[in-house]
Amino acid sequence: MQSVAQQGAVFQTAAEKAYEIISKKIMKGEYEPGMRLVRRQLAQELGVSPIPILEAMKRLEQDGLIEYKAHWGSIVTIPTVERVMDMFAFREAIECQVARILATKATEEQKKALRSLAEELDVLRFEGTETEKITQLHMCVIGSYGLNNRMFDVWTMLFFGVLGFAMKKFEVPATPLLLGFILGPIIETELRRGLMRSQGSFLPFFTEPISGVILTLTILIVLFSAFRTIRQKRNNQR
């Protein structure tokens, strides 16, 4: 029995084992993007000499999982939008080529096996709603972090995600919020100019004819919208 087990076992060099362990840790997020990888520390952690670690790191660098930074050393690759787009473009080219070859050379059994596998994947996709939502969240986090390599962008994305969920839950329209983001900087700039001309006084905004008319119309529109919403809710309750 021992000889059969030994024959069936696949022999791995120390460098291959180190590559497999480090790549799995990177994929699982144990080694975070931007984390510095020191050969001696990895050798102590994996219980091997630094030479297999060096070979494994060269292979990891070729695979794009780590990168070398001058005056710093090897770090876990930080995903960016450009890199992700390049990877998907490369994957698309390979998949199209494979599909073309299979369409002309695949046997009927292979086509049936591929068709059944595709149907299973479609079922898993539509049944695993929670998994799909988690995947979408992961992509949002990666995209937010990849723009400037800052966690602040990720927290901003999460904050506005929660805000959007609350607005949808309480049926608050998103259009005014978007208009506020677009027109907010313009209004702020013009407000500063007006205050500089009036030497810090807010009276011209109420006494000048144009600003007074615009302000009055704004108040009337807000009151009319609030009145209409309250009236609709009362009618629905009846």
- What gap in Å lies between CA 66 and CA 236, rounded to an integer? 60
Number of domains in the chain: 4
Print the domain residue range for 194: 173-237
Q: In the predicted model, what is the mean pLDDT of the chain?
A: 80
Domain shared by 22 and 66, yes or no: yes
Of 102, 127, 152, the residue that ends a domain is: 127
For the ranges 6-10, 102-106, 148-152, 193-197, the lowest mean pLDDT is seen at 6-10
Would you call 52 exposed, middle or buried from its count of C-beta atoms within 10 A (0-12, 13-18, 19+)?
buried
Closest to 46 (Cα-Cα) out of 90, 83, 8, 12: 12
* Selection from 29, 157, 169, 143 nearest residue 83 by Cα: 143
Q: Quick one: which of 127, 137, 33, 32 has its CA closest to 78?
A: 33
Residue-wise pLDDT for 4-44, tens only, equals 444 445 677 888 999 999 988 988 888 888 889 988 899 99
Mean pLDDT of 192-213: 85
Boundary (domain end) residue, out of 93, 127, 161? 127
Mean pLDDT of 109-117: 79
Say whether both 167 and 181 belong to one domain. Answer: no
Contact by Cβ (8 Å): 70, 105: no
Regarding whether 72 and 12 lie in a shared domain, the answer is: yes
Alpha-helix runs per DSSP H in 69-174? 81-105, 108-127, 129-148, 151-169
Higher pLDDT, 33 or 132: 33
Co-location of 153 and 179 in the same domain:
no
pLDDT at 183 over 50: yes
What pLDDT, on a 0 to 100 scale, did the predictor assign at position 21? Answer: 92
Q: What is the pTM of this model?
A: 0.40
pLDDT at 6: 46
Question: pLDDT by residue (tens digit) across 209-232?
Answer: 888 888 889 899 889 888 888 888
